[in-house]
Amino acid sequence: MIFFVGIIDWTTREHARRLDLWSRLSAEGDASGLAPDAVRALGLYRGQAGIFFDGQADWAREAPGRVALTLLNTGETYDDSIVDDRLEYHYPSTNRHPSFDKNEIESVKRAQSLGLPLFVLVNNAYKATLKDVRLGYVDTYDDDAETFFITLVDAVLPLAAAEQLPETEDDVELFGGLPKQTLRLVQQRNQQRRFKTDVLVRYGSQCALCDIDVPRLIQGAHLIPKSVGGADHAQNGLPLCLNHHTAFDAFLLVIETDGSGITYAPGVSKESLRVTRDDLTHLQAAPSKRALRQYNSSPAAKAARAAWA
């Protein structure tokens, strides 16, 4: 198969650029509460309409047409909503010449067909003049409803293999949708999101082991890992913050089968892990005893306990 090298090369470079930008934002911890000047300095937005493409930027050179970079979501002009890390973003409908709205809509579809992430600017919850930056992929869209459906993620996904990317500019126009590899990864995120939602509904939105109760900071942790057949069922899960999810998976602590106590690895303590609970009896529902039993009797748990001796 012969590829149109220009599109493949451009997409590869642009994917790396967006990955680097998001990595810097995440590493510095300033993806939230950005002032307008900081947003402009990053090149994320320059005060145009809701769908942003910077035609004068270096990264846009040799692009296969307009490729959207950022979506502005204020929740004011359109009834856009973010629920469970999924954004419904309405097509622009303005009093400008129709070509403006059309070009912006097509730029989002191009980002999708190239498998590129979009930055999403949302209002900061504490100060109206500041913005938070989210990251998302257009997993589908509905022209009849004039809506993009975007899955918000925590990290840039790997770029699809070259043979899954458009070969020519005509392909970019004719064949929509995410590349298969990227779509599969986004669908996995959607499945994880649904699992997390079910876990939070069952147990509450606070970490089972500490006092963190910000839903965005809580993860759905599997008791029986999916890698060994664990189901995406709330009874096979616990709400855990990132730190305690990591400690749980690393067997730095072990929860008793009936949830009545917690045992710690040698050299590790409740205080050092910042655990504030002694058991799981405070939860509004109990996890599956069978799942906890299988978790405790797994080869990984046995190996961890053997290392404790």
In DSSP notation, 97-122 reads -HHHHHHHHHHHHHHHHTT--EEEEE
Average per-residue pLDDT for the chain? 86
Residue 153 and residue 42 share a domain: yes
Mean pLDDT is lowest, of 18-27, 176-185, 214-223, 225-234, for: 225-234
For residue 154, the model assigns a pLDDT of 83
Residue 183 and residue 46 share a domain: yes
Give me the domain span that covers residue 228.
204-308
Q: How many domains does the chain have?
A: 2
Which residue among 158, 190, 222 closes a domain?
190
Which residue among 190, 222, 242 closes a domain?
190
pLDDT digits (tens, 9 = 90+) for 70-79: 998 876 655 5
Structure tokens at 12: 């590869």
Residue 221 and residue 144 share a domain: no
pLDDT digits (tens, 9 = 90+) for 213-259: 988 789 899 998 877 777 888 999 999 998 999 999 889 999 988 88
Residue 58 and residue 138 share a domain: yes
pTM above 0.85, yes or no: no
Q: 271 lies in a domain? A: yes
Residue 184 has pLDDT above 80, yes or no: yes
Q: 292 lies in a domain? A: yes
Residue 287 and residue 240 share a domain: yes
For residue 4, the model assigns a pLDDT of 40
Write the DSSP symbol of residue 228: G
Residue 232 and residue 164 share a domain: no
Residue 285 and residue 162 share a domain: no
Residue 176 and residue 230 share a domain: no
Q: 94 lies in a domain? A: yes
Distances (CA, A) of 86 to 69, 89, 240: 18, 10, 21
For residue 26, the model assigns a pLDDT of 77
Q: 254 lies in a domain? A: yes
Residue 19 and residue 163 share a domain: yes
For residue 189, the model assigns a pLDDT of 79
Residue 85 has pLDDT above 50, yes or no: yes
Q: 165 lies in a domain? A: yes
Give the rounded percent of residues in the chain with a pLDDT score beyond 70.
Answer: 92
Which residue among 190, 221, 246 closes a domain?
190
Q: 198 lies in a domain? A: no
Q: 13 lies in a domain? A: yes
Q: How many CA atoms lie within 13 A of 39 on its CB side?
A: 27
Task: Judge residue 244's burial from the number of C-beta atoms within 10 Å of its C-beta, 0-12 exposed, 13-18 middle, 19 or more buried.
Answer: buried
For residue 230, the model assigns a pLDDT of 78
8 Å CB contact between 101 and 210 = no
Residue 112 and residue 218 share a domain: no
Closest by CA to 153, choosing from 169, 165, 138, 172, is 138
Mean pLDDT is lowest, of 6-15, 109-118, 228-237, 264-273, for: 228-237
Structure tokens at 280: 């799981």
8 Å CB contact between 25 and 126 = no
Residue 57 and residue 30 share a domain: yes
Residue 52 and residue 183 share a domain: yes
Q: 105 lies in a domain? A: yes
